[in-house]
Amino acid sequence: MQAKITPISEIRATKDAITIHVRISRIWEHRGNSEQNAIKHLDMVLIDQKGHAIYSEIPPQLINKFKPYLEEGNIVYISKLGVEKAKPGYRVVDGPYKLKFGIRTEMIHADTDDTTFPKYVFSLTSIEDLSQYVGRTDRFLHVIGKIIAVSNAAVVRNASGDVTMRRVIKLEDHKGNAMDLSLQGQRALEFDGEAVLQVGQSNHIIAIFVGTLMKTYKENFKFLSGTSACRWYINQNDIFAIKNSKERCHLTSRPFSNFTYKVRTTCSTTLSKKTLFQLREIDPFTQRTERYQCTATLISISDNQHWCYQACKVCYSKMIPGTDGYQCTKVSGCPCTQFDWKYKVSFVGADDTHSLEFMFFEKKGAELIGKSAETLRKQYEPSTIPPEISQWIGHKFTFIVKVLSKKSAHSIDPSFEVLLIKERHGKQATLPTIRYKTSIRQH
């Protein structure tokens, strides 16, 4: 790249497009208040050779263009970037500006093995000072502590009413001050509690959590919350703060022995457990907001349905051919004319009582199959079921589901969307023997 490199410390809000040479330190998807929402923008923290950092955003319609370069740790050149004033709230790094990717922005790989680039950026807040940040959203908090307990990942209902996962981690500093950190959604699943438990039996576990906020529950219980912006660095000796804290621990305390505890019952939601015959009685009009837990074996793939669809890059609604390319079918209107291939896999699941249709959309489809719909679409037509999908027939799962009200409105049996794969029971030797007559309908 021939353009002049601008150090992050010299970035100003000018009309000139800039070029930077940076390491991608962190990446996460911003979806607003719910992980079920469409991506609003892809967020990144970028670091230059001098250790200066800046926040940047990629709009959803440009994510695929830059996807080959978007991996944490990569060192890249980025040119033709726009510079804007930093957001007044939810700042991940200090600084007056942010970078915005546009349709003419370019990115190429640099030497990722360049050891002159820092890997991490954070400004630590001590555990004893966290309480003063309750309710504040001007910036995210970064905290270090010894992990002294971790919960299981439990199903809960969040403030938006959505079913999600939550895992609680208890942190303690060298003075004995403690604070609970609640990891939400995908972050709760990504945190490897079992591995930390195993190491924690004989060693101290020192961790830095970045991208958290201080919150309060029922006015008196204060805790850290970690959602999509949260990342963690555990026992990494190349981070001086972690190495220093480990040395203090060896001098002042012993590793813990009992590592697991339950998520507080005040945070948990008891979901109604249903057989499939009981789910058959769900009213798609009056019970469309309810969530249920069920256990089913996938016995087939619904007939006459495609496994993927052309999804609007902005809102995920179905795209159809229009007079000038493609157009979004969102009822309230959406100007987007570009699409991605997304999952819409329709399995028939059964237990010993009944069989019903279960839909896997993009996020849960990718979690189940292990590949994106875009990847499979390069090999298979929408009407041809890939073996990566059909291989799951015969496997048994525990799901959290909700009724698909529109799809079920005029059907004898309702259809359900899989919101969460709670447990995988493996491939079954035999399929369920259904006691009641089924009526899976054709679409």
Both 326 and 372 in one domain: the answer is yes
Region 21-36: mean pLDDT is 88
Residue 407's φ and ψ, nearest 5 degrees, are -70, -30
Cβ within 8 Å of residue 405, ≥6 positions away: 284, 285, 288
pLDDT score of 209 more than 80: yes
pLDDT of 366 reads 85
Both 162 and 98 in one domain: the answer is no
In this predicted structure, which of 112-121, 178-187, 248-257 has the lowest mean pLDDT?
Answer: 248-257
> Would you say residue 391 lies in a domain?
yes
> Would you say residue 434 lies in a domain?
no
> Would you say residue 119 lies in a domain?
no
Range of the domain at 71: 8-109
Both 282 and 238 in one domain: the answer is no
Both 279 and 162 in one domain: the answer is no
Both 252 and 283 in one domain: the answer is no
Report the percent of the chain where pLDDT is more than 70.
90
| pTM of the model as a whole | 0.62
Both 216 and 350 in one domain: the answer is no
Question: Could you write out the DSSP letters of every residue in 294-305?
Answer: EEEEEEEE-TT-
Residue 162's φ and ψ, nearest 5 degrees, are -85, 145
Region 153-172: mean pLDDT is 76
Cβ within 8 Å of residue 395, ≥6 positions away: 297, 298, 424, 425, 426, 427, 428
Q: Tell me the C-alpha to C-alpha distance, in Å, between residue 210 and each of 144, 246, 378, 389.
A: 9, 18, 37, 36
Last residue of a domain, one of 109, 139, 169: 109
Region 240-257: mean pLDDT is 73
110: tokens are 């640099």
CATH of the domain at 193: 2.40.50.140
DSSP designation for 48: -
Nearest to 47 by CA among 77, 25, 69: 25
pLDDT of 252 reads 56
Rounded to whole angstroms, the Cα distance separating 156 from 24 reads 33
Q: Which residue has the tokens 């079913």?
A: 163
pLDDT score of 262 more than 70: no
Q: What are the pLDDT digits (tens) for 185-208?
A: 888 888 888 888 888 888 889 999
> Would you say residue 234 lies in a domain?
yes
Residue 335's φ and ψ, nearest 5 degrees, are -80, -5
Last residue of a domain, one of 238, 261, 284: 261
Both 253 and 131 in one domain: the answer is yes
pLDDT of 258 reads 44
Rounded to whole angstroms, the Cα distance separating 314 from 311 reads 9
> Would you say residue 336 lies in a domain?
yes
> Would you say residue 267 lies in a domain?
no
Both 287 and 413 in one domain: the answer is yes
What pLDDT band is residue 152 in, cutting at 50, 70 and 90?
confident
Rounded to whole angstroms, the Cα distance separating 84 from 88 reads 12
Whole-number average pLDDT of the chain: 87
> Would you say residue 118 lies in a domain?
no
Q: What are the pLDDT digits (tens) for 280-336?
A: 999 999 998 899 999 999 999 998 899 999 998 777 889 999 877 888 888 777 778
Both 234 and 306 in one domain: the answer is no
Both 178 and 284 in one domain: the answer is no
Total structural domains in the chain?
A: 3
pLDDT of 73 reads 93
In this predicted structure, which of 101-115, 240-254, 336-350, 395-409 has the lowest mean pLDDT?
Answer: 240-254
Beta carbons of 136 and 88 less than 8 angstroms apart: no
Number of other CB atoms surrounding residue 286 within 10 Å: 9
Last residue of a domain, one of 49, 75, 109: 109
Region 410-425: mean pLDDT is 92
Q: Tell me how many degrees the CA angle 228-20-8 measures, rounded to the nearest 5.
A: 75
pLDDT of 375 reads 87
pLDDT of 166 reads 86
185: tokens are 């959604």
> Would you say residue 219 lies in a domain?
yes
Q: What are the pLDDT digits (tens) for 349-367?
A: 999 999 999 999 988 898 8
Both 322 and 373 in one domain: the answer is yes
Rounded to whole angstroms, the Cα distance separating 28 from 185 reads 13
Rounded to whole angstroms, the Cα distance separating 50 from 22 reads 10
Both 298 and 416 in one domain: the answer is yes
